[in-house]
Amino acid sequence: MPIRQITVYGEPVLHRRALEVTEFDDELRQLVADMHVTMDAAHGVGLAAPQIGIGLRLFTYVYADQNDAPERGVVINPKLTLSKVSQAPADVDEESEGCLSVPGLNYPLKRADYAKVEGFDEFGNPVSFEAHGWFARIMQHEYDHLDGFLYVDKLQPRWDKRWNKAKKSLGWGVPGNTWLPGTDEDPFGH
């Protein structure tokens, strides 16, 4: 189970809709295992396949504060049903997100407080659970990756200006930028 390189904003696979998984085989199960190892090495709470350069509709997660979902899992070919998103400005202290593909940066973003998550596990078994609060945020964040969006693509104008300035200064927005958890310096300081 090797740790995989994490792609950074600008890599084309991050900016296009991922393809449905059609084969639930050993190769898929190995990919899921690699994603869990990579997510753990990066100290992440979620990792979508496009973040490691694989354009398939699946993500892994680990989060201990949920009701009926496993603490650790994978959702393949997910469908999300969301509650409404408040139109109030995002709270900088309570609603800031980070992303392994936007390493070291955090910006506030409004999300729905509830998500019904449906999909499949790595064996093709149905998965269905509800997520609330921060766990719902994680589900939405990872799902967005599968549709070719990163959280920074959805920022309010004030934060979008800061993001664009940071992106330019870091040289992101072009292909070829990656980092390797456990080897490269941890961009989040874990």
Q: Which of 11, 97, 122, 142 is catalytic?
A: 142
Residues in the chain: 190
Q: What is the pLDDT of residue 68?
A: 67
Q: What whole-number distance in Å separates Cα of residue 56 and Cα of residue 21?
A: 6
Q: Is residue 189 part of a domain?
A: no
Tokens 């869990």 correspond to what residue?
36
Q: Are 62 and 54 in contact (CB under 8 A)?
A: no
Q: Is 142 a catalytic residue?
A: yes
Block residue for tokens 């790595």: 122
Domain, as residue range, for 93: 6-179
Amino acid at 168: K
* Contact in structure between 153 and 10 (CB atoms under 8 Å): no
Q: What is the mean pLDDT of residues 44-56?
A: 97
Question: What CATH number corresponds to the domain at position 113?
Answer: 3.90.45.10
Strand runs labelled E in 89-149:
96-99, 102-108, 114-120, 126-132
Mean pLDDT (whole number) for 130-148: 96
190 lies in some domain:
no
pLDDT of residue 187: 86
Band of the pLDDT at 189, cuts 50, 70, 90? Answer: confident
Classify residue 123: in a domain, yes or no.
Answer: yes
How many CB atoms within 10 Å of residue 168?
10
Poorest-pLDDT segment among 25-34, 150-159, 180-189:
180-189
What value does the mean pLDDT take over residues 8-34? 98
Residue percentage of the chain with pLDDT more than 90:
88
Cα dihedral across residues 86, 92, 95, 98: positive or negative: positive
pLDDT greater than 90 at residue 29: yes
Question: Per-residue pLDDT averaged across 77-103, rounded?
Answer: 94
Give 42: exposed, middle or buried? Use CB within 10 Å, 0-12, 13-18, 19+: buried
User: pLDDT grade, residue 105 (50/70/90)?
Assistant: very high
How does residue 188 score in pLDDT terms, banded at 50, 70 and 90? confident
Residues 40 and 128: their CA atoms lie apart, in Å, by 23
In angstroms, rounded to a whole number, what is the distance separating the alpha carbons of residues 145 and 55?
10
Q: Does residue 30 lie within any of the structural domains?
A: yes
pLDDT band at 67 (very low <50, low <70, confident <90, very high): low
Average pLDDT in the chain: 94
Amino acid 66: pLDDT: 63
Q: Is residue 17 included in any domain, yes or no? A: yes
* Binding-site residue ranges: 99, 141, 145
> Torsion angle, CA of 159/161/165/167, rounded to 10 degrees?
60
pLDDT the model gives residue 112: 97
Residue 161 tokens read as 């200006």
Q: How many CB atoms lie within 10 A of CB 81?
A: 11
CB 41 within 8 A of CB 182: yes
List, as residue ranges, the binding site for Fe cation. 99, 141, 145
Report percent pLDDT > 70 for the chain.
97
pLDDT surpassing 80 at residue 64 = no
Q: Mean pLDDT over residues 28-54, rounded?
A: 97
Residue 176 DSSP class: T
User: pLDDT higher for 113 or 65?
Assistant: 113
Number of structural domains the chain divides into: 1
